[in-house]
Chains A and B, each alone.
Chain A
């Protein structure tokens, strides 16, 4: 489903006298932990997250001494350093973040140090700044704060690479200076027992270009909120996501493009694949176009490929518009099984069913991996997709036979999907 400007205008006429609608897109933020109740799970922002599996991160789990090792490469002109004391305190909120959850308020109030990535104005960093965060103990509940500061007209790529076992609540703040060109990639390649709750908040300066890529493969529960606000007109944000959920995994991505300035852009593309019993993915795409944000453009898209029975993909685009003067606003969501016509076409060229499925899944992710635009991690992402496929699709083809002429063939697999094949807004759209 695509919302065009015209239909948006007519919808607006229904409630012209209100400045804004009361919704979860207008939270009252606070740095004071006491201002935030412990969530019950019934809240809009928590309703899909299995709180029991968060090990108390959402409530009052102790933030213990970190069991995560952090290492990074050095790039000329860039400061990457763990800082504490007044300097660390001064970095809390540099993205404009005012916590809207208890856990984020606790992280900012309690963590003793901050990992600072500081790229001075007019500095162009040729190679990606890579920070490896390797967890060693999922029994340790911990918190982290990362602050990235990109000066005016700087250009840099930062990769946060999460591996190992960990139970972590992390706030990542990103301040993108005017005219800067910044890419932040966060890879969640955790071990099976990891629990990762994170909030990435970016403030995009005037005429700045910001790209955020969330890539989630591993972990028991991974939830990331990737939010953007704008500090001036002309800023552009590209929010990309790639996820692959296996049996039992909960992977939840939420984005929030808060158009706080005129002539800003947001473009979100999240693509996911699911396989195995109780693999659950959630994508919630929130876009708010404030009254001041005239002439903006936004588009958000989520596509899910359901590879086996027993998976669940929730996909919810939300668009809230307070001005009729916009260039364009739209969204699309689709959750489907393998496309039979694609498989037939490939097989009619002699390609086996297994190989055809592999091609289709790779194709599904290929464009997105290219869009991330970090050549040094492209190969790794393709390899990881391949390894994920090897776990299921390429191993257990019997359960996936897309075609069957005789009654014994499991062709009903296609019909029994929870999500209607190829239907827009399928599988768990607004309820």
Chain B
């Protein structure tokens, strides 16, 4: 089972002029096995939503709740959230010099599971995950995200998703900067994850392109820190044809 409930979430960031509200009451429920796409223009707060769920210290929660299967997520530390079953695929994965991918993956898996993975099956799993994402087995010896191409970084994020096997995955613009082949590879990885029982996905994107490969159950238009409209995947087609203008104009009018 996996149910992520976001209820009236308000989030601020500190700026030179004092706190600025970015999320202005986000309410969203991802039920067992559902994939939700969040689409919106630049600066609408999509990434803030992703990072707030993951617990980035830059963001201050000023109101609302986030629960995973009834458990209060906001009271947990960043690593506790991950161990509770949340995963954030980042738009800009961070370089960790001197730490190899294989060491990183093993350390993360051990932390998530509470015990070290069995060596034989683990090596096999890692190699399979890398291969499916068109990453060479020697990838494991490279330092985390150091010198990776944009595509390699994103594929590495999805390899982690498959290996760490969370309950709910938040994908923050995983499609940005990918060519069509890489986009397909990454989408296949996400779809393999979705095919597992009861996995929730929150797919944050600026473009409709990725929705051709990852078909969402619901689409939400995100404008000015909250959900402006929700619908089925046909909503994405409307956005493709008409853009965000009508929503943005409604806010500024």
**Which A residues have a C-beta under 8 Å from some C-beta of B?**
340-342, 344-353, 355-356, 359-360, 362-367, 402-405, 411
Q: A355-B107, A403-B57, A411-B57 are in contact. Are A349 and B82 (CB under 8 A)?
A: yes
Contact of A359 with B77 in the complex, beta carbons under 8 Å: no
Interface residue B93 (Cβ < 8 Å from any Cβ of A): yes
Contacts of B60 in A (CB 8 A): 405
- CB contact list, B97-156 vs A, under 8 A: 97-99, 103-104, 107-108, 111-112, 143
Contact of B112 with A404 in the complex, beta carbons under 8 Å: no
Contacts of A345 in B (CB 8 A): 90, 93-94, 96
- Would you call the interface of chain A mostly helix, strand, loop, or mixed? helix
Contact of A346 with B96 in the complex, beta carbons under 8 Å: yes
Contacts of A353 in B (CB 8 A): 77, 79
- Which of A340, A341, A345, A353 has its CB near the most chain B CB atoms (within 10 A)? A345
Instruction: Report the Cα distance A346→B55, complex, angstroms.
Output: 13
Q: What are the 5 A-B residue pairs with the smallest beta carbon separation, nearest first?
A: A363-B98, A366-B98, A350-B82, A349-B108, A403-B57
The answer, among A348, A364, A403, for a CB contact under 8 Å with B98, is A364
Contact of B99 with A350 in the complex, beta carbons under 8 Å: no
Interface residue B54 (Cβ < 8 Å from any Cβ of A): yes
Which chain A residue shows the least CB distance to B97?
A: A363
Contacts of B160 in A (CB 8 A): 349
Interface string of B196-209 (1 = CB under 8 A from A): 00000000000000
Contacts of B178 in A (CB 8 A): none
Which chain A residue shows the least CB distance to B81?
A: A348
Contacts of A342 in B (CB 8 A): 94-96
Interface residue B78 (Cβ < 8 Å from any Cβ of A): yes
Instruction: Report the Cα distance A403→B55, complex, angstroms.
Output: 10
The answer, among A341, A352, A360, A364, for a CB contact under 8 Å with B79, is A352
Interface residue B158 (Cβ < 8 Å from any Cβ of A): no
Contact of A344 with B57 in the complex, beta carbons under 8 Å: yes
The answer, among B81, B98, B107, B112, for a CB contact under 8 Å with A367, is B98
Interface string of B49-62 (1 = CB under 8 A from A): 00000111100110
Interface residue B83 (Cβ < 8 Å from any Cβ of A): yes
Contact of A350 with B164 in the complex, beta carbons under 8 Å: yes
Contact of A347 with B57 in the complex, beta carbons under 8 Å: no
Contact of B99 with A363 in the complex, beta carbons under 8 Å: yes
Contacts of A366 in B (CB 8 A): 98-99
A290 to chain B, nearest CB (A): 34
Interface residue B219 (Cβ < 8 Å from any Cβ of A): no
Instruction: Report the Cα distance A366→B97, complex, angstroms.
Output: 9
Instruction: Report the Cα distance A146→B88, complex, angstroms.
Output: 56
Contacts of B94 in A (CB 8 A): 341-342, 344-345
The answer, among B61, B79, B99, for a CB contact under 8 Å with A362, is B99
Instruction: Report the Cα distance A402→B103, complex, angstroms.
Output: 23
Contacts of B55 in A (CB 8 A): 348
**Which B residues have a C-beta under 8 Å from some C-beta of A?**
54-57, 60-61, 77-79, 81-83, 87-88, 90, 93-99, 103-104, 107-108, 111-112, 143, 160, 164
Instruction: Report the Cα distance A345→B90, complex, angstroms.
Output: 9
Instruction: Report the Cα distance A364→B61, complex, angstroms.
Output: 33
Instruction: Report the Cα distance A65→B206, complex, angstroms.
Output: 76
Contact of A344 with B78 in the complex, beta carbons under 8 Å: yes
Which chain A residue shows the least CB distance to B85?
A: A350
Contacts of A402 in B (CB 8 A): 57
Contact of A404 with B99 in the complex, beta carbons under 8 Å: no
Contacts of A360 in B (CB 8 A): 96, 99
Contact of B78 with A404 in the complex, beta carbons under 8 Å: no
A349-B108, A359-B103, A411-B57 known; 14 new pairs, CB 8 Å cut-off, are A340-B57, A346-B96, A346-B104, A347-B82, A348-B88, A348-B90, A350-B83, A350-B164, A360-B99, A362-B99, A363-B98, A364-B98, A403-B77, A403-B78
Q: A340-B57, A359-B104, A405-B60 are in contact. Are A349 and B164 (CB under 8 A)?
A: yes
Contact of B78 with A362 in the complex, beta carbons under 8 Å: no
Contacts of A351 in B (CB 8 A): 79, 82, 107-108, 111
A180 to chain B, nearest CB (A): 30
A332 to chain B, nearest CB (A): 14
Q: A349-B111, A350-B112, A352-B111 are in contact. Are A359 and B99 (CB under 8 A)?
A: yes
Instruction: Report the Cα distance A344→B58, complex, angstroms.
Output: 11
Which chain B residue shows the least CB distance to A346?
A: B96
Contact of B97 with A364 in the complex, beta carbons under 8 Å: yes
Contacts of A340 in B (CB 8 A): 57
Which chain B residue shows the least CB distance to A370?
A: B98
Contacts of B143 in A (CB 8 A): 363, 367
Contact of B57 with A363 in the complex, beta carbons under 8 Å: no
Contacts of B93 in A (CB 8 A): 345
B239 to chain A, nearest CB (A): 29
Instruction: Report the Cα distance A115→B132, complex, angstroms.
Output: 59
- Which of A350, A353, A365, A366 has its CB near the most chain B CB atoms (within 10 A)? A350
The answer, among A347, A349, A364, for a CB contact under 8 Å with B77, is A347
The answer, among B78, B97, B99, for a CB contact under 8 Å with A347, is B78
Instruction: Report the Cα distance A403→B57, complex, angstroms.
Output: 6
Contact of B82 with A362 in the complex, beta carbons under 8 Å: no
Which chain A residue shows the least CB distance to B56?
A: A344
Contacts of A356 in B (CB 8 A): 79
B145 to chain A, nearest CB (A): 8
Contact of B164 with A405 in the complex, beta carbons under 8 Å: no
Which chain B residue shows the least CB distance to A362?
A: B98
B112 to chain A, nearest CB (A): 4
Instruction: Report the Cα distance A404→B56, complex, angstroms.
Output: 10
Contacts of A362 in B (CB 8 A): 98-99
Instruction: Report the Cα distance A401→B131, complex, angstroms.
Output: 37
A221 to chain B, nearest CB (A): 29
Instruction: Report the Cα distance A411→B160, complex, angstroms.
Output: 29
Contact of A350 with B56 in the complex, beta carbons under 8 Å: no
Instruction: Report the Cα distance A345→B82, complex, angstroms.
Output: 11
B51 to chain A, nearest CB (A): 9
Which chain A residue shows the least CB distance to B99?
A: A363
